[in-house]
């Protein structure tokens, strides 16, 4: 029963209330372990984090997708897709998504929701948006590079809690299509996306989509509700019959939800020594189970932890 049990730190386990309850209140920021210090596990690193290593989700940048299975919490990324964030908030506040459905679940790729009839009026929201597929990689854009090379981009790393990439030669940065990332579907025209149809990556990172479509945020809680949706049997995983649709009760901006009904969450800041220690612990697993540390980590294999505030 314990076979394989020790092999990998449980992804997302800290999302469960209390998992990191042993957090030391006096724990300070932790530098990436130099080789002469004993290696620490991710759990030990998290237990030693300081309160300042975490940031609360901004309610104005947080969406609640209410499904029969429960609530999915999405953090928007206005630094990378500002106009999409504005449009999505507008759609949400018009209750555009309420009563629509998840209409697609393609194995090892994405789930997608929106209006299956594509008829619901967008109201005050824009029907077309600029293609926010990359942003200028200015000095003002935080970027914590991974030490490792990447195949799809000149640099990869993290920006304000999101997996990201950067091309210094072109002066561009963009979010990367890792598991749990949320994007805005579009048709062939680059400006045809508007946030009314959203998808979430549920499989191996489809990084070929990077720079081709606007990523707008990340699921920070509830991925397991989306990843287990029955796969659609139509082309591209679309559900073939309306009775297969998974209904969306509502989508809300957290700021519009009474405080008592919000899901309190904070995210480990990716610009901290604690996060860099997590990255190093994932690059080289040193517990008793591993024989060969990889000496490498894919940008999509670094967990960005969220937890209820202690």
Residues 233-252 that bind a copy of itself (CB under 8 A): 233, 235-238
Candidates 62, 112, 159, 176; binder of a copy of itself (CB under 8 A) is: 112
| Residue 67 found at the interface with a copy of itself (CB under 8 A) | no
Radius of gyration of the chain from Cα atoms?
20
**Core vs surface per residue 1-14: b (16+ CB within 10 A) or e:** eeeeeeeebeebeb
Write the DSSP string, 107-170: TTSEEEEE-TTS-S--TTS-S-----S-EE--TTS--EE-SS--SSSSEEEEETTEEEEEETTT
Candidates 14, 45, 76, 103; binder of a copy of itself (CB under 8 A) is: 103
- Per CB under 8 A, the segment of 29-37, 72-80, 225-233, 239-247 that binds a copy of itself is 225-233
| Residue 227 found at the interface with a copy of itself (CB under 8 A) | yes
Task: Look at the alpha carbons of 147, 149, 152, 154 in this order and tell me if their dihedral is positive or negative.
Answer: positive
Candidates 190, 249, 257, 263; binder of a copy of itself (CB under 8 A) is: 190
Instruction: CB nearer to a copy of itself: give 66 or 172.
Output: 172
Candidates 77, 220, 229, 277; binder of a copy of itself (CB under 8 A) is: 229
Candidates 199, 268, 277, 304; binder of a copy of itself (CB under 8 A) is: 199
- Per CB under 8 A, the segment of 60-68, 88-96, 178-186, 243-251 that binds a copy of itself is 178-186
What does the alpha-carbon distance between residue 153 and residue 22 come to, in Å, rounded to a whole number? 38
How long a stretch of residues is the chain?
310
Cβ–Cβ < 8 Å for 1, 245: no
Candidates 197, 217, 270, 275; binder of a copy of itself (CB under 8 A) is: 197
Instruction: CB nearer to a copy of itself: give 238 or 308.
Output: 238
Minimum Å gap between C-beta 92 and a copy of itself is: 18
- Per CB under 8 A, the segment of 52-60, 137-145, 251-259, 296-304 that binds a copy of itself is 296-304
| Residue 1 found at the interface with a copy of itself (CB under 8 A) | yes
What does the alpha-carbon distance between residue 96 and residue 187 come to, in Å, rounded to a whole number? 20
């Amino acid at each position: 029963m314990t076979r394989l049990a020790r092999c990998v730190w449980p992804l997302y386990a800290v999302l469960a209330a209390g998992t990191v309850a042993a957090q030391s209140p006096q724990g300070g920021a932790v530098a990436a372990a130099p080789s002469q210090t004993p290696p620490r596990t991710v759990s030990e690193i998290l237990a030693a984090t300081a309160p300042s290593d975490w940031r609360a989700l901004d309610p104005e940048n947080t969406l609640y997708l209410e499904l029969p299975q429960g609530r999915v919490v999405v953090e928007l990324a206005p630094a990378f897709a500002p106009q999409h964030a504005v449009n999505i908030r507008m759609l949400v506040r018009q209750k555009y998504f309420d009563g629509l459905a998840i209409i697609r679940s393609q194995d090892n790729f994405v789930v997608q929701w929106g209006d299956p009839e594509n008829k619901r009026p967008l109201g005050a929201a824009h029907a077309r948006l600029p293609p926010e597929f990359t942003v200028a990689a200015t000095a003002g854009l935080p970027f914590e590079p991974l030490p490792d090379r990447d195949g799809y981009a000149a640099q990869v790393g993290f920006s304000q809690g999101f997996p990201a990439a950067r091309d210094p030669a072109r002066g561009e940065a963009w979010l990367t299509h890792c598991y749990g990332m949320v994007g805005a579907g579009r048709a062939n025209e680059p400006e045809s996306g508007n946030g009314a149809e959203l998808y979430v990556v549920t499989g191996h990172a489809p990084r070929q989509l990077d720079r081709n479509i606007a990523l707008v945020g990340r699921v920070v809680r509830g991925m397991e509700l989306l990843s287990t949706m029955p796969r659609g049997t139509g082309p591209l995983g679309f559900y073939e019959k309306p009775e297969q649709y998974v209904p969306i009760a509502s989508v809300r901006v957290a700021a519009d939800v009474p405080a008592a009904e919000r899901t309190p969450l904070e995210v480990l800041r990716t610009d901290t020594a604690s996060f860099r220690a997590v990255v190093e612990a994932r690059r080289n697993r040193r517990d008793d189970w591993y024989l060969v540390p990889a000496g490498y980590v894919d940008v999509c294999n670094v967990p960005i932890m969220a937890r209820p505030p202690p």
